[in-house]
Amino acid sequence: MLADKRILLIIAGGIAAYKCLELIRRLRERGASVRVVMTEAAKEFVTPLAVGALSENRVYSDLFDLTSEHEIGHIRLSREADLLVVAPATANLLAKMANGICDDLASNVLLATDKPVLAAPAMNPRMWAHPATRRNVARLAADGIRFVGPNTGTMAERGEIGAGRMSEPMEILAAIEAHFEAAGEGRPLLGRRVVVTAGPTHEPIDPVRYIANRSSGKQGFALARALAEAGATVTLVSGPVGLPDPADVKVIRVETAREMLAAVEGALPADVAVMAAAVADWRVASEASEKIKKGAGGTPHLDFVENPDILATVGRHSTLRPRLVVGFAAETENLVDNARAKLDKKGADFIVANDVSPETGIMGGDRNTVRIVARDGVTDWPDLPKDEVAVKLVALIAERLG
Ligand code: C5P
């Protein structure tokens, strides 16, 4: 799939730059051509000699070098590629990209390009969590920049743990392949309207407390992004999550199951509904208007009422049922039996079932192992990054729509 694809790899100055050597090798193995731009700081971490040897190309880093008549200019460099990959995408480079600052070759190329850009952030967890970086990443996502990672784990700095580790070379490679898979098949969902739910719902107990299911929203967001990349017009109805809006997706943020249902119904008619939200099954029967006080009356007694089932409402809709209705089933036991039961109960065409027992690490993680449960059988997919599960689901949706 990567044969003859032209990748322009931009290496910025971070310790994770060493992983790029492996990434270049893997890209070359698959037949991609690789041109590399290094920032000055990147050269402190890997040598242009090693990068040049592995990429089998000259390495670019000086903006003014390119003005000589023998060289291609930075505009050509930025456009003679099918995909730009920024790895590691440092906090500094992301900040420059978000603000259109161009003071070296790498940032000039990123501003001048008309090609898609995939960024693999890498930085200290505090830098990643800083409101300035959050703002920059959200803005870049809205500008259509795609992201892979970062992962959570121990950092190069001793004792630092958190989100900020650059994705592994094979994960970046998978994201690159996923990009070309979506692009290569054209845009199979062009003109289709899709509504996606994601994240948890929060059901208030009083003004400060709520009950909720665990859900990061990552799979639903990845799916919304992949659907949009496949050409669909996507409405994503999300409960409270800490994820930026995916590019080219209409995002409606809600809190409760009832709000989610109203937003989903508002997004109909649609060709496809994919209900990936972890909706709270129950809500507190009567929400206290003031904060419930500790003490005097002992522990509070809460009465629950059942929430509307959004998937079932859509799957059994008498007039506006989408042609394809996809549900999710997060289970800790009897995965397939439970998912099969849901097919009929909720009027779904297929169910994406996953085992969310804590030891799987799926909940909140970046990978997912799913089984597709349909009336005509069960298909097991391998353990994949959530982004790739999303791309495969889009292909399945396109196939089922015919
Ligand atoms: O019944 P269960 O919650 O396991 O079903 C999971 C599927 O149903 C998911 O697709 C989820 O988004 C959807 N669901 C829903 N509304 C609910 C409960 C679940 O849409 N109230």
Same domain, 179 and 208: no
| 256 pocket-lining for ligand 1 (C-beta < 6 Å) | no
Higher pLDDT, 355 or 90: 90
Name the domain boundary from 134, 165, 183. Answer: 183
Same domain, 336 and 200: yes
Same domain, 74 and 143: yes
Backbone angles phi, psi at 278, to 5 degrees: -100, 85
Least Cα distance to 119 among 6, 231, 10, 19 occurs for 10
User: 231 CA to middle of ligand 1, Å?
Assistant: 26
What average pLDDT is seen over the chain? 91
Position in ligand 1 atom list of the atom nearest CA 326:
10
Same domain, 273 and 386: yes
Within a domain: 1: no
Same domain, 99 and 197: no
CATH of the domain at 329: 3.40.50.10300
What is the mean pLDDT of the segment spanning 191-209? Answer: 95
CATH of the domain at 30: 3.40.50.1950
| Catalytic position from the list 108, 136, 213, 307 | 213
Backbone angles phi, psi at 345, to 5 degrees: -55, -35
Q: Is 57 a catalytic residue?
A: no
What's the pLDDT tens digit per position in 266-299?
999 899 999 999 999 999 999 999 999 888 678 8
Two tokens, residue 113: 């390009």
pLDDT at res. 350: 96
Concatenating the DSSP letter of every residue in 327-349 gives EEEEESS-HHHHHHHHHHHHT-S
| 219 pocket-lining for ligand 1 (C-beta < 6 Å) | no
Give the domain extent around 288: 193-401
pLDDT at res. 17: 97
Number of domains in the chain: 2
Name the domain boundary from 183, 203, 230. Answer: 183
What's the pLDDT tens digit per position in 49-66?
999 999 999 999 887 766
Within a domain: 188: no
79 pLDDT higher than 60: yes
Least Cα distance to 83 among 145, 26, 17, 166 occurs for 145
For the chain, report the end-to-end CA distance as a whole number of angstroms.
23
pLDDT at res. 192: 86
Helix (H) or strand (E) holding 96: helix 91-99
Q: Are 380 and 336 in contact (CB under 8 A)?
A: no
How many other C-beta atoms lie within 10 A of the C-beta of residue 93?
28
pLDDT band at 364 (very low <50, low <70, confident <90, very high): confident
Same domain, 73 and 149: yes
| 279 pocket-lining for ligand 1 (C-beta < 6 Å) | yes
Within a domain: 59: yes
Mean pLDDT lowest for which of 24-28, 67-71, 113-117, 334-338?
Answer: 67-71
Q: Are 197 and 238 in contact (CB under 8 A)?
A: yes
Residue whose CB lies within 8 A of the most ligand 1 atoms, among 265, 275, 326, for a mutation test: 275
Within a domain: 133: yes
| 123 pocket-lining for ligand 1 (C-beta < 6 Å) | no
Same domain, 157 and 105: yes
| 311 pocket-lining for ligand 1 (C-beta < 6 Å) | yes
